[in-house]
């Protein structure tokens, strides 16, 4: 997949019945499918984006985070994985979430 191509993302269910994102990185090749969580913590997203966690939190509080965030007080913030993939790329997100495919 080139940097200009977007992965194909759809919803699915894992074997335990949890909803996950099913991601196909290369529509024309034999790249494997990956299952990723629907949302990740702000710290995980910040790491994938190369932002220090404390800076990510400060940006989220002033609506300045580079992708949309979900405020789930009192638990903190979550970031939709699909937004993160669109901004940082599939490979970087997989690498930072340590997902094996």
50: number of CA atoms within 13 Å, CB side?
A: 4
Residue among 27, 17, 38 at smallest CA distance from 80: 38
pLDDT at 16 over 70: yes
Q: What number is the average pLDDT over the span 42-62? A: 95
pLDDT bucket at 99, cuts 50 / 70 / 90: low
pLDDT at 1 over 50: no
H or E stretch covering 80: strand 77-80
pTM of the model: 0.72
pLDDT in tens, 57-87: 999 999 999 999 999 988 799 999 989 988 9
Q: What is the mean pLDDT of the chain?
A: 81
């Amino acid at each position: 997949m080139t940097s200009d191509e977007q992965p194909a993302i759809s919803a699915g269910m894992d074997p335990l019945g949890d909803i996950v994102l099913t991601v196909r990185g290369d529509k024309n090749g034999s790249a494997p499918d990956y299952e990723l969580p629907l949302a990740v913590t702000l710290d995980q997203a910040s790491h994938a984006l190369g932002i220090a966690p404390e800076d990510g939190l400060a940006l989220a509080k002033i609506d300045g985070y580079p992708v949309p965030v979900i405020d789930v007080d009192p638990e903190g913030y979550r970031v939709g994985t699909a937004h993160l993939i669109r901004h940082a790329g599939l490979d970087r997100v997989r690498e930072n979430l340590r997902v094996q495919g």
